[in-house]
Amino acid sequence: MLTQLSLSAITVTLYIPTSAVGAVIGRRGQTIAQVQKTAAQASSNPKVPVRISVREPETPTYTPLDASDELWTPVVVKADPLAAWSACEQIQALVVEAGGFVEHEDIIVDIPLHRNKHATVVGKRGWTVATLSADHAVRILVPHKELRHDIVQLEGPFSNVRACFAALLQVLVAPATLIVPVLPSQTKLRHIGRKTDTVLRKTKLEDGTWQLTVTGAGHVPAAMAMLQKWKEELQYPSSSTKPSAGAVRKSRNQTSAKMPARNREVSASGQ
Q: Which amino acid is at 195?
A: K
User: What is the C-alpha separation between 223 and 176, in angstroms, rounded?
Assistant: 9
Find all residues with CB under 8 Å of 139, minimum gap 6, and list them. Answer: 133, 153, 154, 155, 156
Helices (H), 183-219: 186-196
- Whether the predicted pLDDT of 27 surpasses 90: yes
Q: Which helix (H) or strand (E) holds 249?
A: helix 245-270
- The more confidently predicted of residues 123 and 156 is 156
Q: Do domains 2-173 and 176-236 have the same CATH topology?
A: no
pLDDT band at 165 (very low <50, low <70, confident <90, very high): very high
* pLDDT band, very low/low/confident/very high, at 88 (cuts 50, 70, 90): very high
Per-residue pLDDT band at 263 (split at 50, 70, 90): very low
Contact between 191 and 222 under an 8 Å Cβ cutoff? The reply is: no
What pLDDT is recorded for position 2?
A: 46
Identify the architecture of domain 176-236 in CATH: 2-Layer Sandwich (3.30)
Of 2-11, 50-59, 78-87, 163-172, give the range with the top mean pLDDT. 78-87
Fold classification of 2-173 (topology level):
TATA-Binding Protein (3.30.310)
Strand partners, 204: 210
Indicate the domain borders of the chain: 2-173, 176-236
Backbone angles phi, psi at 148, to 5 degrees: -95, 60
Confidence category of residue 213, pLDDT binned at 50, 70, 90 = confident
Q: Is the pLDDT of residue 161 over 90?
A: yes
The helix (H) or strand (E) run that includes residue 154 is strand 151-157
- Answering whether pTM is above 0.85, one says no
Residue-level pLDDT at 266: 39
